[in-house]
Amino acid sequence: MKNESLRICEIFLFLLVVILFIGCGKKKPEIKWDYSNKDIIGSDLGQSELNFINLDVYIDATTSMQGFAVNPNNAYNKFLEEIETAANTAWEKTDVKYFKFGTNIKRIERNEFLRAKFPGFYSDRGIFEKTKIDSVIYKTDLSRLSVVVTDLFQTEGDINSIVLQIKERCFSKNIQLAILGVKSYYEGKVFDAKVPSYKFVSKMDDEKTFRPFYAIMFGEPQNILRLFTALKNKPFVKEENFILISKFLVNKFETKLTKTKESKSLSMRKSEKGPNTFEYTLKENARGGKFDLELSYDRMKFTPQFDPSLLELEVFSKRNLNKAKEKIDSSYSRDLRLIGLKHDENKINSALELELENEPGIFSYRVYLQLPAIGGFIIPDWVKEFSSENPSPSKDANKTLNLEKFITNLIQANISISRTKIAKFFITIRHQ
Amino acid sequence: MRKSPINYLISFACAAVLWVILGIFIGDLIGESITLATLAVEEFLNLFRIALGVITLLSLILIFYWLYYGAKSSTAGELKTAKKKYIVLFVTELIFAIIMLVILVIMLLDEGVVGSDYALIFLLAIVQTFILFWVTTLFFSPKTVKYIPFLAKKIF
């Protein structure tokens, strides 16, 4: 009886030792990334910022703009009235400053701003001679929303210079930009052309003869959109004539990664790291496998359309090899390839092929889906319609010189600061 | 060790320890080697551990019934009946293992699990059912039915 009890106790003790031995194995430390999506969808404004806005309104006070001020009931004058109203509607508190600019910038009071509806406003010496938008660009600030009302360039050479300044002064400092085109009755002199300046008069009852002016908005995308939302209810503001040039193209996205049935060396693991993270085990001596990638996204409204078939992968990897004493930090990787991308509205499907070195360890990848450096965007139709390469009295008289080139160059300049990404996900492979 | 309630407690402890070893540790090893088409390994392991836990409980119910039946004073006068009962319980344990395997096969039909993995799962189910039943009844049966479990006469 006693021997029996002793034997049973010995068995229990042995089992306990076995359990402890198996349970207390040495594990490799986990690989960590920054899993937030702020580099794809931006960050929210704090509550206090949402209720207050600092707004700077710059009015182009050069001679050509005088042509918009001849008719008190035209879209231009109504737009000027509406800017302040829209800001007061969109935010609880506003601090609005007014400026007139041309050759120089001059701060003006509200009562002088109200005189912008009359031709006399556009005759100040030292201002009316030349449209120098670059001087306004230098004034932009992320803490303020700036609205520049202008009919755009005086000379073709201005385009490249202004785009460069916007790139250095705005895009590189996260100040984003939007352009609203508004057509208005015009009766004045057009200067931004390759031909000598010419007189142009719209037909009152024919909107096709109206000449566009532009509200160029500089600031945080959320503030720009908020102001535009308040403006777009007006009949002279058309939603389709608005473009937001932002480094963020999507409001949200979701990825789903599953292995193909043929990839028998891969086993899916549950990831505890949150959405858009995936974990797999790869069997010993296997070199990789294939995945099916599904991406659904919400494109940020008013940003230019992009061609999903041109999307590219950018992959960075971190490795923690069993043989290596230290883990290998983040480096550009070619272990993953995108194959056969298909798109349908806001959904993208593709196969992803993985091939990695035959070394046991942990391989972790941060994968971006991004647009190419050149040519990924589609210029909106309204830009092409408003633009002309050579406006003259006989042809395209009311169109804006090289508007399409300007906006294309702006989009390109924005991409050159940081490649526009529409999704990000993480794959961790435990290679046995 | 054959007296109540010690034999009940030790039987329960054996079942629990065995579940931990088979379900957690051996289960992790299965998780490392099994290939699944769409299910995550963790989800498979949850399924496996729950199934193993259910048959452990069922197995314990039969073990406790045997310990209760063997402790009854009337059992001493009907040992032949007791032996038959023992065999029925033993076979029922085997059926539990088979049912667990069948349920898992049905649930994992689309996952492409290979035969060798199912064989291993069945082996673990056998250990958790009639092997557990046999070992606990061999060592912890009440004195009246001490020699009924298989090989009891040879060992004791």
Structure tokens at A386: 């408003």
The Cβ of residue A256 has, within 10 Å, a number of other Cβ atoms equal to 15
pLDDT at A51: 85
Average pLDDT, stretch A264-273?
A: 89
The predicted complex's ipTM stands at 0.72
With bands split at pLDDT 50, 70 and 90, how would you rate the model's confidence at A296? very high
Q: Give contacts of A281 with chain B, Cβ < 8 Å.
A: 32, 41
Asked if B36 has any chain A CB less than 8 Å from its own CB, the reply is yes
Structure tokens at A238: 């058309």
Average pLDDT, stretch B116-124?
A: 94
pLDDT at A26: 53
Laid out side by side, the sheet with A277-282 consists of A266-269, A277-282, A421-431, A361-370, A312-321, A328-332
Residue B128 domain-assigned (yes or no): yes
Phi, psi of A38 (to 5 degrees): -65, -25
pLDDT at A135: 86
Q: Is A275 helix (H, G, I), strand (E, B) or coil?
A: coil
pLDDT at A154: 57
Is a pLDDT exceeding 80 seen at residue A30? no
| β-sheet bridge partners, residue A243 | A179
Phi, psi of A354 (to 5 degrees): -110, 130
Asked if A268 lies within 8 A of B36 by C-beta distance, the reply is yes
Phi, psi of B153 (to 5 degrees): -65, -35
Percent of chain B with pLDDT over 70: 100
Owning domain of residue B45: 6-155
Is a pLDDT exceeding 80 seen at residue A6? no
Structure tokens at A102: 């041309």
Give the A-side interface with B, CB within 8 Å: 1, 4-5, 8, 12, 15, 18-19, 22-23, 258, 261, 264-265, 267-270, 281, 283, 432
Structure tokens at A314: 């950018």
The per-residue pLDDT for range A183-192, each reduced to its tens digit, is 999 999 887 6
Residue B1 domain-assigned (yes or no): no
The Cβ of residue A159 has, within 10 Å, a number of other Cβ atoms equal to 20
Give the one of B21, B38, B40 whose C-beta lies nearest to A269's C-beta: B40
With bands split at pLDDT 50, 70 and 90, how would you rate the model's confidence at A13? low
| DSSP assignment letter at B131 | I
| Bond from prior residue into B5 cis (ω within 30 degrees of 0) | yes
pLDDT at A43: 62
- Number of domains into which chain B is organized: 1
Percent of chain A with pLDDT over 90: 51
Is a pLDDT exceeding 90 seen at residue A42? no
The per-residue pLDDT for range A124-180, each reduced to its tens digit, is 888 888 888 888 888 888 889 999 999 986 566 778 888 999 999 999 988 899 999
pLDDT at A383: 95
pLDDT at A71: 87
With bands split at pLDDT 50, 70 and 90, how would you rate the model's confidence at B37? confident
Asked if B10 has any chain A CB less than 8 Å from its own CB, the reply is yes
Q: Between vectors from CA B66 to CA B62 and to CA B67, what angle results, nearest 5°? A: 120
Minimum distance, in Å, between the CA of residue B145 and any CA atom of chain A: 16
Q: How many CB pairs under 8 A join A and B?
A: 46
Asked if B34 lies within 8 A of A12 by C-beta distance, the reply is no
The Cβ of residue A214 has, within 10 Å, a number of other Cβ atoms equal to 20
Chain centre to alpha carbon of residue B126 = 6
Q: Give contacts of B43 with chain A, Cβ < 8 Å.
A: 270
Chain centre to alpha carbon of residue A331 = 25
Chain centre to alpha carbon of residue B65 = 14
pLDDT at A48: 46
Q: Give contacts of B20 with chain A, Cβ < 8 Å.
A: 19
In one letter, which amino acid is A39? D
pLDDT at A380: 94
The Cβ of residue A345 has, within 10 Å, a number of other Cβ atoms equal to 9
DSSP assignment of B70-104: HHSGGGGG-HHHHHHHHHHHHHHHHHHHHHHHHHH
The per-residue pLDDT for range A219-230, each reduced to its tens digit, is 988 899 999 999
Is a pLDDT exceeding 70 seen at residue A19? no
Determine the Cα–Cα distance for residues A117 and A110; give it in Å rounded to an integer.
12
Nearest to B23 by CA among A266, A22, A11: A22
With bands split at pLDDT 50, 70 and 90, how would you rate the model's confidence at A47? very low
Q: Which residues have CB under 8 Å from A355's CB, separation 6+? A: A287, A288, A335, A337
Q: Give contacts of A256 with chain B, Cβ < 8 Å.
A: none
| β-sheet bridge partners, residue A387 | A400
Give the one of B21, B32, B112 whose C-beta lies nearest to A281's C-beta: B32
Asked if B42 lies within 8 A of A269 by C-beta distance, the reply is yes
Asked if B41 lies within 8 A of A267 by C-beta distance, the reply is yes
Q: Give contacts of A269 with chain B, Cβ < 8 Å.
A: 40-42
Q: Which of A208-212, A256-260, A355-359, B64-68 has the lowest mean pLDDT?
A: A355-359
Q: If you average pLDDT over every residue of chain A, what do you get?
A: 87
Asked if A270 lies within 8 A of B42 by C-beta distance, the reply is yes
pLDDT at A329: 75
Asked if B40 lies within 8 A of A270 by C-beta distance, the reply is yes
